[in-house]
Amino acid sequence: MSRLIVNRRRFLLGSAAAGSGLVLSGCNQFDFLAQRGNPVRTAMEQANVLTYSAQRALIGDQVLAREYGESEIRQGMKPNGSTEPSTPEYMFLRQANFEPYRLTIKGMVERELSFSLAELRNMPSRTQITRHDCVEGWSCIAKWTGTPLGPVLDQAGVKPGARFAVYHCFDNIQRTLSGDVLYYTSSDLVNAYHPQSILAYGLNDETLPVSNGAPLRLRVERALGYKQPKYLHTIEIVDDLGPFGLGKGGYWEDNGYDWYGGI
């Protein structure tokens, strides 16, 4: 009996010491979690898959993000990420006031289509005052005007079996020794067809400025900012995200951010 008590006491003291050691020794022993592909990190990333499934089950596909009143626009839209792309293609288009610009819809579609800005502006438009939430934590309310993406995709005719829309952009978000890394991201077809998902060419009643993604940026209002690509030029409908970039479905996703981006 007394032996047991001593053992138990030792055990308790040991656990207390181990616990306080964990707290006191700082945290660089968890830095291994930052290694992309580390098995523990990969296991933890499954929580993001759970979040995606849970939110898709909970949130109706057509449910809208909150829209605000004019009086709640209290400042300009904060530019973030790329604000001045320097690729030759983009510089040329910008110099030509985006006249030669075309948005291309390709991949798993019945007809590959492309649209000029004038054609997109002539389609039915939607204007919405929404809150942009950055993954960093800040928010900014602005008014966006553009063409709903769903009907544009319907014109091209999305083939059965398609699962994702990949958004290709002009901006060189990262410049490396082996060349520019161009921005891209992707969404499921639920977000692509969401009524508030618009190809925006207007911001706060003016033409979308370069710093905010001219000539065209996608709004995906139920997701964070990095899921809302600026400087958009091609939408590719696919059933697999593997072939693009590092295979995670986007530039920031390839850098360890979650693909869903709804939280």
- In the complex with another protein, the residue whose CB is nearer, 104 or 255, is 255
In 3D space, the residue among 166, 164, 160 whose CA is nearest the CA of residue 190 turns out to be 164
CA angle 226, 229, 233 (to 5 degrees): 160
Q: Which residues bind another protein (CB under 8 A)?
A: 8-9, 11-13, 15-16, 19, 22-23, 26-28, 30-31, 33-34, 41, 44-48, 50-51, 55, 58-60, 63-66, 68, 72, 74-76, 78, 131, 133-141, 221-224, 252, 255-258, 262-263
Backbone angles phi, psi at 201, to 5 degrees: -120, -5
Instruction: Return the half-sphere exposure (C-beta side, CA atoms, 13 A cut-off) of residue 43.
Output: 3
The residues with which 179 forms a beta bridge, in sequence order, are 176
Q: How far is residue 63's CA from residue 85's CA, in Å, rounded to a whole number?
A: 34
- We find the least distance from the C-beta atom of residue 103 to another protein, in angstroms, to be 25
Report which DSSP code applies to 109. Answer: B
What's the closest the beta carbon of residue 33 comes to another protein, in angstroms? 6
CB of 132 to another protein, least distance (A): 8
- Residues 153, 165 contacting (CB under 8 angstroms): yes
Residue closer to another protein, measured from CB, 44 or 246: 44
For the bound state, the minimum distance from the C-beta of residue 141 to another protein, rounded and expressed in Å, comes to: 5
For 69, the token pair is: 């009143």
CB-nearer residue toward another protein: 104 or 195: 195
Smallest distance from the beta carbon of 48 to another protein, in angstroms?
6
Nearer to another protein, 135 or 162 (CB): 135
